Amino acid sequence: MPVFQDTQQVMLGYSEFLSHLGKCKFSDCQHINEPQCAIKNAVDKNIIQPARYQSYLENIQEVKNS
């Protein structure tokens, strides 16, 4: 299974991220360190809680390392 599928599954656990998806510059954005990422913009504006984004990053790294 491609990594993309797994990261999408992680994303589904973060319902407050979902309304921002599709607004990133890259359609395959994983919201880690891509430029012009809608998720990171929302974190910067405190629309998404930084702790939730941190938790997301940790889950993504686990998926990528497995």
What minimum distance in Å lies between the beta carbon of 66 and Zn ion?
21
Tell me how many residues contact Zn ion (CB under 5 A): 5
Residue type, 35: P
Which residues inside 23-52 make contact with Zn ion, applying CB under 5 A?
24, 29, 31, 37, 39
What minimum distance in Å lies between the beta carbon of 56 and Zn ion?
11
Please give the torsion angle defined by the CA atoms of residues 23, 44, 18 and 62, in that order, rounded to the nearest 10 degrees.
Answer: 110
Contact positions vs Zn ion (CB under 5 A): 24, 29, 31, 37, 39
